Amino acid sequence: MRRSRLLRRRGARDAAAPSAPLAVPPAPRPYVRALGLAATALVGAWLGLLIVGSVDAPVGPMDTKMALRPSLTGGTKVNVSPLGALELRSHAAPLRLDVDVDQLDQERASALVDHPERLEGLEGEITSDVQAGAGDLALRSAVAVVVGAGALGLAVYRRPRRALAASGLALALLAASGTTAYATWNPKSVLEPKFSGLLAGAPSVVGNARSIVADFDVYQRELARLVTNVTKLYEATSTLPAYQPDPSTTRVLHVSDIHLNPAAWQIIKSLVDQYDIDVIIDTGDTMDHGTSAENGFLDPVRDLGAPYVWVRGNHDSDETQKAVEKLAKEKGSDVHVLDEGVARNVAGLRLAGWGDPQFTPDRSVKPQGDPRERKDGRRLALALRAQRSAGTPVDIAIGHNPVLVKETDGLVPLALAGHTHERSHETLPHKTRLMIQGSTGGGGLRAVEGEKPQKVSASVLYLDRDDGGLQAWDEITLGGLGLTTAEVTRHLAGDEPDSPPSESPSPSPPSPSSSSSTKTPSSPPPSGGPSPGTSGSP
C-alpha cells in the first residue's frame, strides 16, 4: 500500500510538471523557396510551350508551323523538310523561333502561277501573314506558359496561391524574353546564315548573301520574271504540236539529267499527253546528290502516264536505284530499272542498259574517268552479244555516259545517253546511231552556275514497231531559267546528222520524207492542224 501511494504521488507530480516540447523542423530559407518556385515556373512553361505552344500559319503559298522553344543562344531556325534547315542569329533572348515549312499549298501556288501579276503584292501579303502568325504565336505562347506553370505548381505545392505565383512568374519571364528579343533583334542576320542538310549547298547555288540582300529589289524582279516564264513554259508544253504517225510507229520520249528540277515532271507529263508516248526512257542523273532525302522527288513517276525506263547516272546513288526499284515493285507499276545488261521488253521494244559505274555527285569523290566507263561498256556489249546469239537481239542500248554506250557500236541500231547536258547525235563507225540528250531539268540546281541558263531538252523518237528501226525524231527545246522560247524541230533518220532541217512553208503536218522547223504565230494553233515543228515565243 505504501508503494502504491508512493507511485501515485510520483505520477501526480509528473503530470503536474510541464511536458517537453516536440522537435519542429526548421523553416526553409526564403531564397530556397524562390528557387523552387522559379524552377517550377520554368519547367511548367517549357512543358506548356512544348505541348500547345505552336500555331499553324499560312505564309504566302506555304503552310508553316511556328513555335517558341527555350534556347541558350536564341535565334531563328527554319526547317524545310526534307532539304534541311536554315539558322539565323536573329536575337539573343533565351527563346528560339522555330518555323517548320510543312508543305506548299497547291491551290494557292497554282493561283500564283496562273496570275503572276499577283507577285507585285506578294511581299506585302507575306509580311501580313508573318505578322498575323507572330501575333497568334505570342498569344498562344502566353496561354501555354501560364497554364503549364500553373498546372505544375498545383501538382507540386497543392496550393492555389503557389500555382498562381508560378503562372505569374512564367508570364513575366516570357515577357522579359520577348522584350530582350525585341531589343537585340538583328535584321542583318540573314547575311550570315547557317545551312544544314541538303541546304548546305545553297550558298554555292544562290551566290553571296550580301549581294542578294544589297540588290534585293533586283532579285525580286527576277523572281517575278521567273514565275511568269514558268507559266509560259507550262503553256508552251500544253500546246505542243502533236504528230500522228501511222499505227506501226512506237513513240519514245528520251529525257535525261533532270537534277532535281520538279518542273521537269510536268513537262514530261505534258509531252506524254501531247505526243501519245508509248515509253519514257530516262538516261539518269535524276538526282543531284543521291541522298535518301531526295528519294521523295521520284513520287511523280507513278503518274506520268507511260512506262518509265530508268538507268543510273553518276549523280544517282545505290540508294536512288533502290528507291526506283521500290517503285517498280509496287502493284500495277510500269517502272523498269536497267542495269548490268539485263534485257527487258517494254512497249514492244527490247531494251538493255548499264548503270553508271561512277558515283561523283561532288568533288569529294575522285572520278575514275573514261577507263572505268569503257570497262563496263565492254561488259554491256558482251551481254548484247549473248542476247543476239540467243535470237533475242536488243533494239536500244541505254547508259548515262556516252563513253560507256559507245562500246555497243555494231550490236544495236540505236544507243541513248545523257551526261553532257548538250544534245547531239552521231552515227558510229559500225552504224549504230548514238543520241545524246541535253538536260530535261535545265541543269537543275546547277542551271545558275553559268553565265547563261541551260535549256530544257527532250526528244520524241519514232521507231518502227516491227523492226525497231528509227524513222524520225523531234527535238524539243524549251527556254531555261529567264527564257521564254519553245522550239520543236523534226529530223528524219535518212538525213545527215549535221544537216540543218529545211523550213516548211506549209503549216500542215509534213510527210514522212521531209524535215521541218517552222514558226508558230503568237496565238496557239487550232487543234487538229498544228505544225510538227515550231519555233517562237509561247
Euclidean distance between CA atoms 19 and 232, whole angstroms = 100
- Residue 432 C-alpha cell reads as 549504230
Greatest CA separation found in the chain?
A: 149
| Average of per-residue pLDDT across 236-250 | 59
Euclidean distance between CA atoms 209 and 193, whole angstroms = 8
DSSP secondary structure letter of residue 523: S
Q: Which amino acid is at 217?
A: D
Find all residues with CB under 8 Å of 20, minimum gap 6, and list them: none
CA 465, distance to chain mean position in Å, is: 37
Contact of 379 with 352, CB cutoff 8 Å = no
Whether residue 204 is predicted with pLDDT greater than 50 in this model: the reply is: no
Pairing of the two strands 433-436 and 414-417: parallel
Euclidean distance between CA atoms 54 and 66, whole angstroms = 6
Euclidean distance between CA atoms 47 and 149, whole angstroms = 8
The CB-side HSE value for 309 (13 A sphere, CA atoms) comes to 30
Mark out the alpha helices in 17-121 (DSSP H runs): 30-52, 106-114
Euclidean distance between CA atoms 287 and 424, whole angstroms = 22
Map out the domains of the chain as residue ranges. Answer: 32-112+121-199, 210-492
Q: Which amino acid is at 165?
A: A
Between these two residues, 14 and 210, which has the higher pLDDT value? Answer: 14
For the stretch 295-318, pLDDT in tens is 888 999 999 999 999 999 999 999
Whether residue 534 is predicted with pLDDT greater than 70 in this model: the reply is: no
- pTM of the entire structure? 0.53
Pairing of the two strands 396-399 and 414-417: parallel
Q: Which amino acid is at 199?
A: L
Which element (helix H / strand E) includes 327? helix 318-329
Euclidean distance between CA atoms 280 and 272, whole angstroms = 8
User: How many other CB atoms sit within 10 Å of the CB of residue 372?
Assistant: 16
pLDDT of residue 344: 94
- Residue 241 C-alpha cell reads as 504540236
Which element (helix H / strand E) includes 15? helix 2-16
- Percent of the chain at pLDDT > 90 equals 27
For the stretch 437-483, pLDDT in tens is 999 888 775 555 555 667 889 999 989 888 878 888 888 887 655 44
Find all residues with CB under 8 Å of 409, minimum gap 6, and list them: 415, 428, 429, 430, 431, 432, 434
Euclidean distance between CA atoms 31 and 509, whole angstroms = 92
Q: Which amino acid is at 151?
A: A
Long-range contacts of 5-14 (CB under 8 A, 24+ apart): none
Place of cell 542476247: 387
Whether residue 201 is predicted with pLDDT greater than 60 in this model: the reply is: no
Query: 228 phi and psi, to 5 degrees?
Result: -60, -40
Place of cell 536497267: 338
For the stretch 61-105, pLDDT in tens is 677 888 888 888 888 888 766 556 777 788 888 888 888 876 655
Burial 472-509 (b: 16+ CB within 10 A, else e): bbbbbbbbbbebbbbbbbbbbbeeeeeeebeebeebeb
- Residue 475 C-alpha cell reads as 527535238
Euclidean distance between CA atoms 377 and 363, whole angstroms = 24
For the stretch 253-282, pLDDT in tens is 999 999 888 878 888 988 888 888 999 999
For the stretch 5-39, pLDDT in tens is 666 676 666 655 555 555 555 656 777 778 888 88
Q: For residues 176, 181, 182 and 185, what is the CA-based torsion angle, rounded to 10 degrees?
A: 160
DSSP secondary structure letter of residue 284: S
Looking at the DSSP bridge assignments, the partners of residue 280 are 253, 308
Residue 410: C-alpha distances to residues 384, 385, 386, 430, 431 (Å): 10, 10, 14, 5, 6
For the stretch 341-400, pLDDT in tens is 999 999 999 999 999 999 887 655 566 778 899 999 999 999 999 999 999 999 999 999
Contact of 434 with 455, CB cutoff 8 Å = no
| Average of per-residue pLDDT across 199-209 | 45
pLDDT of residue 121: 56
Q: CATH homologous superfamily for 210-492? A: Metallo-dependent phosphatases (3.60.21.10)
Place of cell 511536458: 19
